Each structure stands twice: as structure tokens, then as C-alpha cells.
């Protein structure tokens, strides 16, 4: 609680020297905490008491001069008017209802450096501490702001602004949120948004724009972010950020929808069909996301499509490629080699494949992590990493 700043604003107000911006800041502090309102009332009452005491002392003096109000009636009248207006302003601030305000239901919300119980139209906020904060907006929308969130509550006809962090919204009607990455709008429903650093290097003119993650619990949300305009249906999660280069695969977006790991998908396919896993890949075809697992048996390869969220088998088809020599050379399971690589390489595996280099078995494993896509060459028997290359977002 910044009482030093409050005292500066109080003195400027009392002296009649406060600017319009200082008056707005002064009123904001008064509305944010009852301690400030109590201090203002105390100050005004002290002034009134001093005025009465001074008048009494003047009346009791030996010279008994005429009272101030008789000698300079216009000054006395002005003082009474100022006192009456001050008391009226204090009473209004202390007793006025907050029905038109944005209420802080829980958590530590700060504005202008001071804790706030209510927020005015268009007022900026910051969530302090480690716990989320809950706001009840004028239209009945409930906003849960995660710790560290920064933004502004909506002014009439404007949108809620989230400049940093994450928040969820349970809507009571049409609602719009603006962010540095774009806008999210919905007529009814519940959604969660997150602003995070880009997983790919953005262009220089957009270096400060974060990625926008949108997840809907009910209802749909219309998103206009980066270069994409689309609707996120109920129960979906989408990432909006720097588009991949031509010919590249947006692994950041695909992995947002994949809860199953590549190793788990390999194990799932091997459990339902005989064969030796020789290839595994996360891919999207015609809008369908799946893990494609190649199982070698009897000189042929059977491709098994595994749902990346549920592990359900989506389909099967034969591949004419002969992988008999590769399958015969396998001594260490593909999933084990993937897991061994991930012990020392940060990220998630998106592709793995056995290959023969002469008589030596190797594995090529692609891992998407904080630095983008990395292609790792591994000894197919020992799991030793032989070579690592950074591929960016291209396949």
C-alpha cells in the first residue's frame, strides 16, 4: 500500500493544484482500498476540528476582535463551501455502491501500485503473488487470471485486454479479448487463453509478438491471430504463432493435440499386430492426426495408424517396401532407443526409423524441442548418439 504517493495526491487535492491525471489517480486509489478513504475522511475531519478550535480561540482572546465571518464574510463563506463539498465527496466515495464496477472476488489484484477490491472501466491490473485471481465483470462474465497476468478490464463497448500471462473466461454473453498476438471472441461459452514465447523464431518486425494458445471448454471461439482466422470448436486446443516455412511441418501445433508419446504409440501398435517396429512418425493427412507405425513381418511392412490422444487403432494398410534385412538386424527395440535419446535431448520425438548403412544398423530420430527440430543419428545397437543436426521446422 503506497501511502507516500497517496499523501502527495491528497496534498495536491487540498491545495487545489492537482492535475486531471492526478485527480483520476487519486480517485482510483480511494476506490481501491477503504484505508485510503478512511485517511481522507480523517484528514477532512481534522481540518474541520482545527477550524472550530481556531474560531474558539479567537473568541476567547482579550482583544475579542470580531469573528472572521463578521470581518471577512466572503472568506468564511468560501471556507464553509469547501468544507461542505469535501465532506460530500468523501461521503460519496465511502458510501457509493459498486454495482457498476468490476469486482475482485479473490486473489491479489494491483492497480497503480496498490491493492484493489474493485476496478474501474478500462483500468489496468496486474495479478501479484502465486495464486490466481478471480474477477466478476459487469455483464456477469467471470474471469480467472493466473498469477503474473497483466491487462485491462473492458471499458463500455471495448474488449478485455490481456497483455501477458493466461486467463480463463466463463461468459455471460458476447465477449472479446484482445492480446498482442490477436483477438479471441465468443458469444457464449468458456475458454482459456495463454500468451507464451514463440517456439519458432519470428520475423524481426514481429519479434515481440507471443504465441497464442486457445482452448475451449464449451461453446466455440473465433480467433484472429497471426495470419490465421478460424473457429476453435468446443473441446479443442489450438496454437497460433509464427507459421512454418514452406514445406515444413508445424510440429508445435501437432504436438499440442498429441498426448500419447511416440514410444507409447509404438508399444500400442506392437500389442495389436505381430511384427518388429521399424518406423514411427507423427503425421497429419487430410486433417487427421495420427502416429503411423511400421511393423515388419514376413518381409512386408504393415502400417498401423494410432490415435495420438486415445491410443485407438484408426486403420491399417500394407506397404510394399521390403524391410526384411532391417528387421533381421534389430536387436534393441525402436521404442527403447527413442527413450534413451530423450534422456539427454530435450523435447518430444516425432519420428524414428531404422536404416542400414552397409552392415551397420542405425536409427534416425527427430526430436522437436525448444530449439526447433533436431535430427539425431543413433547406433541401432548401443543407442549411442553419433550425430546431431538442427533442422529448424523443415522435415
DSSP letter string, 4-62: HHHHHHHHHHHTT---HHHHHHHHHHHHH-HHHHHHHHHHHHHHHHHHHHHHHHHHHST
- Is 220 part of any domain? yes
What pLDDT score was predicted for residue 385?
92
Same domain (yes/no): 135, 232: yes
For residue 392, give every residue at least 6 positions away whose Cβ sits within 8 Å of its Cβ, in sequence order, or none: 200, 245, 248, 372, 373
Q: Which residue has the higher pLDDT, 274 or 112?
A: 274
Same domain (yes/no): 143, 90: no
User: Is residue 228 within 8 Å of 217, Cβ to Cβ?
Assistant: no
- Is 341 part of any domain? yes
Same domain (yes/no): 125, 50: no
What are the pLDDT digits (tens) for 348-382? 999 999 999 888 999 999 998 877 788 999 999 89
DSSP characters over 243-282:
PPPTTB--HHHHHHT--S-HHHHHHHHHHHS-SEEEEEEE
CA 244 to chain centre: 22
What are the pLDDT digits (tens) for 287-299? 789 999 999 988 7
- Is 250 part of any domain? no
Best CA proximity match to 251, nearest among 350, 117, 391: 350
Q: What are the E-state strand segments in 331-393?
A: 348-357, 360-369, 372-379, 385-392
- Is 116 part of any domain? yes
What pLDDT score was predicted for residue 321?
76
- Is 53 part of any domain? yes
Same domain (yes/no): 82, 106: no
Domain boundary among 211, 243, 275: 243
For residue 241, give every residue at least 6 positions away whose Cβ sits within 8 Å of its Cβ, in sequence order, or none: 181, 198, 199, 200, 202, 210, 211, 212, 226, 252
Mean of the per-residue pLDDT values for the chain?
Answer: 82
Domain boundary among 95, 129, 163: 95
What pLDDT score was predicted for residue 358?
82
Half-sphere exposure of 20 (CA within 13 A, CB side): 0
Q: Which of 208-212, 315-319, 389-393 has the lowest mean pLDDT?
A: 389-393
Averaged pLDDT, 67-78: 50
Same domain (yes/no): 281, 216: no
- Confidence band, pLDDT 50/70/90 cuts, at residue 394: very low
Domain boundary among 95, 117, 146: 95
Same domain (yes/no): 277, 358: yes
Which three cell numbers mark 220? 466455440
Same domain (yes/no): 82, 159: no
Same domain (yes/no): 144, 200: yes
Q: Which residue has the higher pLDDT, 72 or 21?
A: 21
State which residues form the domain around 317: 256-392
- Which CATH number is 193's domain given? 2.60.120.1440
Total domains in the chain come to: 3
Q: Which of 188-192, 237-241, 255-259 has the highest mean pLDDT?
A: 188-192
- Confidence band, pLDDT 50/70/90 cuts, at residue 392: low
Same domain (yes/no): 135, 267: no
CA 59 to chain centre: 67
Taking the CA atoms of the chain, what radius of gyration do you get in angstroms? 33
User: Is residue 175 within 8 Å of 190, Cβ to Cβ?
Assistant: no
- Which CATH number is 304's domain given? 3.10.450.40
- Is 251 part of any domain? no
Same domain (yes/no): 171, 127: yes
Whether the pLDDT of residue 276 is over 80: the answer is yes
At CB < 8 A and 24+ separation, what contacts does 161-166 make? 162/193, 162/195, 163/195, 164/195, 165/127, 165/194, 165/195, 166/192, 166/193, 166/194, 166/195
What pLDDT score was predicted for residue 97?
46
Whether the pLDDT of residue 1 is over 70: the answer is no
- Is 332 part of any domain? yes
Q: Which of 93-102, 124-133, 216-225 has the lowest mean pLDDT?
A: 93-102
Dihedral (Cα; 75, 77, 83, 88), 10-degree rounding: -150
Same domain (yes/no): 76, 139: no
Whether the pLDDT of residue 214 is over 80: the answer is yes
What pLDDT score was predicted for residue 96?
47
For residue 196, give every residue at least 6 positions away whose Cβ sits within 8 Å of its Cβ, in sequence order, or none: 210, 211, 213
What pLDDT score was predicted for residue 83?
52
For 84-110, b/e burial (b = at least 16 CB within 10 A) is eebeeebeebeeeeeeebbebeebbbb
What are the pLDDT digits (tens) for 19-48? 878 877 877 777 777 667 767 776 766 665
Whether the pLDDT of residue 200 is over 70: the answer is no
DSSP characters over 73-139:
HHHHHHHHHHHHHHHHHHHHHHH---TTSEEEEESEEEETTEE-SEE-TT-EEEEESSS-EEEE-TT
- Is 222 part of any domain? yes
Half-sphere exposure of 66 (CA within 13 A, CB side): 6
Whether the pLDDT of residue 391 is over 60: the answer is yes
Q: Which residue has the higher pLDDT, 245 or 40?
A: 40
Same domain (yes/no): 294, 375: yes
Amino acid at each position: 500500500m503506497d501511502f507516500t504517493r497517496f499523501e502527495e495526491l491528497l496534498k495536491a487535492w487540498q491545495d487545489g493544484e492537482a492535475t486531471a491525471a492526478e485527480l483520476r489517480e487519486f480517485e482510483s486509489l480511494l476506490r481501491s482500498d477503504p484505508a485510503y478513504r478512511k485517511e481522507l475522511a480523517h484528514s477532512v475531519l481534522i481540518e474541520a476540528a482545527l477550524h472550530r478550535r481556531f474560531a474558539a480561540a479567537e473568541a476567547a482572546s482579550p482583544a475579542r476582535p470580531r469573528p472572521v465571518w463578521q470581518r471577512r464574510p466572503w472568506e468564511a463563506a468560501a471556507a464553509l463551501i469547501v468544507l461542505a463539498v469535501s465532506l460530500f465527496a468523501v461521503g460519496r466515495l465511502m458510501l457509493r455502491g459498486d454495482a457498476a464496477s468490476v469486482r475482485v472476488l479473490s486473489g491479489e489484484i494491483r492497480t497503480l501500485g496498490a491493492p484493489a477490491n474493485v476496478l474501474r472501466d478500462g483500468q489496468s491490473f496486474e495479478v501479484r503473488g502465486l495464486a490466481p485471481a478471480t474477477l466478476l465483470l459487469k455483464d456477469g462474465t467471470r474471469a480467472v487470471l493466473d498469477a503474473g497476468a497483466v491487462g485491462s478490464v473492458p471499458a463500455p463497448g471495448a474488449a478485455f485486454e490481456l497483455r501477458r500471462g493466461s486467463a480463463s473466461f466463463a461468459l455471460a454473453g458476447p465477449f472479446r479479448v484482445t492480446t498482442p498476438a490477436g483477438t479471441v471472441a465468443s458469444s457464449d461459452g468458456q475458454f482459456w487463453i495463454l500468451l507464451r514465447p514463440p517456439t519458432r523464431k519470428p520475423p524481426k518486425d514481429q519479434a515481440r509478438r507471443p504465441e497464442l494458445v486457445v482452448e475451449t471448454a464449451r461453446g466455440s471461439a473465433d480467433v484472429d491471430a497471426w495470419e490465421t482466422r478460424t473457429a476453435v470448436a468446443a473441446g479443442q486446443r489450438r496454437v497460433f504463432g509464427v507459421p512454418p516455412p514452406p514445406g515444413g511441418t508445424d510440429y508445435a501445433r501437432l504436438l499440442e493435440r498429441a498426448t500419447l508419446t511416440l514410444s507409447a504409440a509404438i508399444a500400442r501398435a506392437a500389442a495389436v499386430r505381430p511384427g518388429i517396429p521399424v518406423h514411427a512418425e507423427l503425421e497429419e493427412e487430410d486433417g487427421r492426426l495420427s502416429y503411423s507405425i511400421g511393423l515388419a513381418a514376413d518381409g512386408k511392412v504393415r502400417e498401423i495408424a494410432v490415435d495420438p490422444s486415445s491410443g485407438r487403432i484408426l486403420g491399417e494398410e500394407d506397404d510394399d517396401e521390403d524391410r526384411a534385412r532391417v528387421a533381421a538386424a534389430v536387436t534393441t527395440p525402436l521404442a527403447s532407443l527413442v527413450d534413451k535419446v530423450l534422456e539427454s535431448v530435450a523435447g518430444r520425438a516425432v519420428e524414428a526409423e531404422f536404416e542400414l548403412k552397409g552392415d551397420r544398423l542405425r536409427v534416425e530420430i527427430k526430436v522437436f524441442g525448444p530449439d526447433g527440430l533436431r535430427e539425431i543419428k543413433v547406433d541401432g545397437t548401443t543407442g549411442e548418439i553419433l550425430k546431431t543436426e538442427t533442422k529448424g521446422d523443415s522435415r
